[in-house]
């Protein structure tokens, strides 16, 4: 589904942390269950960048650092809508 966003992908938490250290992003889509480093260090490194979490453990994300949360499995339309909602804030 094309939504007009430029995406940068990280295959694991280590790469996500490298990307966050090297640049800025409008929104981060994060699965907290990533290999190498889980998503918690990535969430902490996101700072004020809004985060859309895609997870099977949504109840654990109620601490206010996540702008939107999608529970797996989800479809691409739900992801596009969540990103749009976060960017429109």
- pLDDT tens-digit map of 7-19: 999 999 999 999 9
Q: Where are the alpha helices (DSSP H) in the chain?
A: 13-22, 39-45, 76-87
Q: How many alpha carbons lie under 13 Å from residue 83 in its C-beta half-sphere?
A: 19
pLDDT tens digits along 48-88: 999 999 987 655 555 677 899 898 888 999 999 999 999 99
Residue 87 to residue 59: CA distance in whole angstroms? 23
Indicate the pTM of the whole model: 0.84
């Amino acid at each position: 589904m094309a939504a007009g966003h430029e995406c940068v992908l990280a295959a694991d938490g280590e790469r996500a942390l490298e990307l966050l250290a090297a640049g800025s992003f409008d929104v981060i889509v994060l699965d907290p269950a990533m290999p190498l480093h889980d998503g918690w260090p990535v969430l902490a490194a996101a700072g004020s960048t809004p985060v859309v979490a895609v997870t099977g453990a949504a109840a654990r994300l109620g601490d206010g650092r996540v702008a939107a949360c999608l529970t797996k499995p989800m479809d691409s339309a739900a992801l596009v809508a969540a990103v749009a909602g976060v960017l429109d804030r």
